[in-house]
Amino acid sequence: MGDDYLAPAWLPGGNLQTIWPALYARRGDGPPPVYRRERWAAPDGDFIDVDFVDAIAPAPRPLLVLFHGLEGSSRSHYAEAFAAFAAARGMGFAVPHFRGCSGELNLAPRAYHSGDYEEIGWILGRLRAQHDAAGGGPLLVAGVSLGGNALLRWAEEAGSEAGKVASAVAAISAPVDLAAGGEAIGRGFNKLVYTRMFLNSMKPKALAKLAQHPGLFDRDTLLAARDLRAFDNVFTAPLHGFRDTDDYWSRGSAKPHLHAIRVPTLVVNAVNDPFVP
């Protein structure tokens, strides 16, 4: 949408426009999607869960793939809306869950992160192969928030090879500058609402991971974390090969490398997004 877009008068401001859809927005016409789940063995011996809504149109047909946001899943409101969109157009639909986001704790001493392009790469490679074996058609890939940045990082790293896997990619509300986003979500109202919501979900999962792998990180430091910078410093960064939060946010950000993308790409961010400045 261009500069002429006007938000509803009864829903002013970025915070209300963020919170209201998460609680009340329509997720598509009809009942919630009925997913078919596949569990895939990951290259490192772990697993991921992929939820599908199979297409009713004859092959070849498009497959729409959605990478969810931080602590999202196939039951996120936007995922169910995408599922309805795909079904109405005869497309197949797939939501690969990042590690630990499918409702079951993963096995490896790791989780997921905003720059996880290697994970995106092997998942899309397998989806491409499965889709071709079922009759083929375009693979259309979208990512929301964290999933959007990770998807862009994959497109950047893959370069001209990305087009052999995906026909097009789209990133929605993607924090392509992780440092700017991290600082924005760590201030004022954002910290009171969004940061608290995320930490209330991520800390218990991190502690469960520590019980799985004793000594993985310092428990007291994790419990003391009051923002994403501190959480990433004790958990996300060291578990995924980064020196610290600054190293993670720098190397994981898509913004510096957007020029390397060679597949048709759409990036959509709201001007007033509370934590994607």
The pLDDT value given to residue 12: 73
Question: According to CATH, what is the number of the domain 14-176+253-268?
Answer: 3.40.50.1820
- Residue 210 region, left (φ>0) first, then alpha (ψ -120 to 50), else beta? alpha
Rg, Å, the chain Cα set: 18
The DSSP 8-state label assigned to residue 191 in this structure reads I
- The CA angle 117-50-276, to the nearest 5 degrees, is 45
Distances (CA, A) of 110 to 45, 95, 164, 201, 249: 12, 20, 29, 16, 17
- The CA angle 43-112-198, to the nearest 5 degrees, is 160
Residue written as token pair 């004022």: 188
CA 219/CA 199 separation, integer angstroms: 14
The pLDDT value given to residue 70: 97
For the chain, which residues make up each domain, given as ranges?
A: 14-176+253-268
Count how many residues are written for the chain: 277
Q: What is the pLDDT of residues 72-99, one digit of tens each?
A: 999 999 999 999 999 999 999 999 999 9
The pLDDT value given to residue 25: 67
Distances (CA, A) of 176 to 68, 179, 213, 261: 15, 9, 31, 14
The pLDDT value given to residue 1: 45
CA 103/CA 14 separation, integer angstroms: 30
Contacts of 12 (CB under 8 A, 6+ apart): none
CA 229/CA 107 separation, integer angstroms: 25
Sheet of 168-172: strand order equals: 36-41, 47-53, 92-96, 63-67, 139-144, 168-172, 265-268
CA 234/CA 82 separation, integer angstroms: 34
The pLDDT value given to residue 156: 99
H-only helix segments in the chain? 14-24, 77-88, 117-133, 146-158, 178-185, 188-190, 196-212, 219-224, 228-231, 237-239, 245-252
Contact between 199 and 224 (Cβ < 8 Å): no
Helix, strand, coil shares of the chain, percent, nearest 5, are 45, 15, 40
pTM recorded for the entire structure? 0.94
Which regions in the chain score pLDDT beneath 70? 1-3, 14-16, 18-20, 22-29
The pLDDT value given to residue 20: 65
